[in-house]
Amino acid sequence: MVRRFYAQAWNRWDDSVLPQLLDPGFTFRGSLGDEVRGHDGWRAYRDRIRAAVPDFLNEITDLVVEGDRAAARLRYSGHHHGELLGVRGDGRRVEYAGAAFFTARAGLLTAAWVLGDLDALRRQLP
């Protein structure tokens, strides 16, 4: 589920997979500190990132799953074009690390809590 979440919902921006992956009450706390709920809340967060980094890519570098919980180590990358962390983009490539912690129930992701290395990201912004 976690691999599909990143490959399809994030990297391909495919909203059609959300009912197959996310519980209707899905809670998502993103690296930017926002906490959102439901498919629409998550989609709005993702689209905010997409507006800033249109080619935003999530790469899982490690994934550990135990029962209904998973932890992923990630590498995020893309080209900064829109506003991110209050900074307008200039097209330069950014790359930073992060970690995400998931819970699932009945074959759907119910929650995700994400930590991104925002210090590393800020050092790369213009």
Q: What is the pLDDT of residue 69?
A: 98
Structure tokens at 6: 């990143």
Looking up residue 104, the CATH number of its domain turns out to be: 3.10.450.50
Flag residues of the chain having pLDDT under 50: none
Starting from the edge strand earliest in sequence, which strands make up the sheet with 35-37, in order? Answer: 35-37, 22-29, 108-116, 93-105, 69-79, 57-66
Q: What is the pLDDT of residue 82?
A: 97
Q: Which domain holds residue 70?
A: 2-124
Q: What is the pLDDT of residue 34?
A: 92
The number of domains in the chain is 1
Nearest-angstrom CA–CA distance, 37 and 22? 11
**pLDDT tens per residue, range 1-31:** 999 999 999 999 999 999 999 999 999 999 9
